[in-house]
Amino acid sequence: MHQVMGQVVRNRELAAGLWHLIVEAPEIAARAEPGQFAMLRVASGLEPLLRRPLSFYRIARHYGWLEFVYKVVGRGTQILTTRAAGDRLDLLGPLGRGWDLLPGTRRIGIVGRGIGIAPLIGLAEAAVRRGIAVEAFLSAREPQALLGLDLLRELGCGLYLHTERGEYSGRCREVTEHLEEAFEEEKPDQLFVCGSRRLGQAVLDFSRRRGVRSQISLEERMACGLGACIGCVTEIRAEDGREYRRVCKEGPVFWVEEVAMLYDR
């Protein structure tokens, strides 16, 4: 973990309210893994006070770059849009535990919705680099919000897309159907999901039925991001009942079958 003043390489709007931010921060990039995140300080003053957690979208290690995609939802992300190339940005990272590609894995599915697609893109890249086949199940409000689509195409991933409006809105099907269809003949070795509880539940169900080892990336309100405040807990099903674990430290990636909220229907 490092705290560095990175330099903004680029910060621009991809689609309405969706921004792509690239920051040069070689110390962090050198150690960052897909699924991990950074805490960004958006203001230099006291308002807003807390850092904002953003997952790594891509990690361009040879450039020393970290890429993020963020959705403007409140004050912090609003301020972030005002940062321009050349500006300094206080970053803390890499933080948390990233995705686990298990030894022997040959075929995976990534399941993402909306901004939840962001942390899956770096994973897809890493997987393809290791010769793992990737099927991507992505959904969003509108086609422009399907992050990293071109990249996934380039990488040769299988694509199963759904949007509420526009191009991919016709075949309005549940992700479960998509999963069944894609993996009818052969189950994937692992599934990776991020973006909504419903999606997580679908993946949990599928994974339990088919015996797939799957992971989910969770979000929780964070103060420190580095494990000190115990503020970001989620409930985990452990041997002896439920217990709280820190999303910033033991997560944000968890095994789906551990995550208590996926069982609360």
Ligand X SMILES: Cc1cc2nc3c(=O)[nH]c(=O)nc-3n(C[C@H](O)[C@H](O)[C@H](O)COP(=O)(O)OP(=O)(O)OC[C@H]3O[C@@H](n4cnc5c(N)ncnc54)[C@H](O)[C@@H]3O)c2cc1C
Contact residues for 245 (Cβ-Cβ < 8 A; gap 6+): 233, 234, 236, 251, 254
The answer to whether 227 contacts ligand FMN (rule: CB under 6 A) is no
C-alpha to C-alpha distance for 191 and 208, rounded to whole angstroms: 11
Is the Cβ of residue 151 or residue 226 nearer to another protein in the bound state? 226
Is the Cβ of residue 46 or residue 172 nearer to a second copy in the bound state? 46
Is the Cβ of residue 17 or residue 231 nearer to ligand FMN in the bound state? 231
Alpha carbon 95 to chain centroid, angstroms: 13
C-alpha to C-alpha distance for 127 and 124, rounded to whole angstroms: 5
Residue 139 CB, shortest distance to ligand FMN, in Å, is 35
Interface residues toward ligand FES, by CB under 6 A: 222-225, 227-232, 246, 248-249
Contact 176, 199 (CB under 8 A): no
Residue 226 CB, shortest distance to ligand FMN, in Å, is 12
User: Taking CB under 6 A as the rule, which mask of x and - marks residues 80-119 in contact with ligand X?
Assistant: -----------------------------------x--x-
Cα 106 to Cα 132, 189, 192, 217: the distances in Å are 5, 7, 14, 21
Is the Cβ of residue 244 or residue 255 nearer to ligand FMN in the bound state? 244
Largest CA distance in the chain: 56
Contact residues for 131 (Cβ-Cβ < 8 A; gap 6+): 106
Can you give the binding site for ligand X, defined by CB under 6 A?
Answer: 37, 48, 50, 52-55, 68-71, 73-77, 115, 118, 219-222, 252
Can you give the binding site for ligand FMN, defined by CB under 6 A?
Answer: 223, 229, 231
